[in-house]
Structure 1
Amino acid sequence: MGYRVVIAGATGNVGREMLNILAERQFPVDEIAVLASRKSLGTEVTFGDKTLTTQDLDTFDFAGWDMALFAIGSDATKKYAPKAAAAGCTVIDNSSLYRYDPDIPLIVPEVNPQAVHGYAKKNIIANPNCSTAQMVVALKPLHDRAKIKRVVVSTYQSVSGSGKEAIDELWDQTKAVYNPTQDVPPSVYTKQIAFNVIPHIDVFLDDGSTKEEWKMVAETKKIVDPSIKVTATCVRVPVFVGHSESINIEFEDFLDEDEARDILREAPGIMVIDKREDGGYVTPIECVGDFATFISRIRQDSTIDNGLNLWCVSDNLRKGAALNAVQIAELLGREVLKKG
Structure 2
Amino acid sequence: MAPLVPRLELPNELLFKILAQVLAHSVHMVIVSSGDIEWHLHAHHTLSAVCFSFREIMKGISSKAFQFAATEASPNLAHHVQRQLQSLRSLGAAIRDPAVPGSFSIESLDSSAPQLVQGYSLYIAIVYLRTQASRSTPEIYQSTSATIFGAVITLSKVLYSRIVPREVAVMLKHATEDEAELSHIGVLVVKHCGLLSGFADALAVEHDPQDEVASLRRDINKIKTEQMISIIDSADVEFLSLFRRNEPLPCCTAIWISQLPDVYSTLERVYGIFTKQPSLISEGAITRLRSLVERWAPTPPPAEAPNTDDDDSQLAP
- Which of the pair has more CA radius of gyration? 2
> Which structure's relative contact order is higher, taking Cα pairs within 8 Å and 6+ residues apart?
1
Give the TM-score band, short-chain normalised.
under 0.3
User: What is the TM-score of this pair, normalised by structure 2?
Assistant: 0.24
The structure with the greater share of residues assigned to helix is 2
User: What is the TM-score of this pair, normalised by structure 1?
Assistant: 0.23
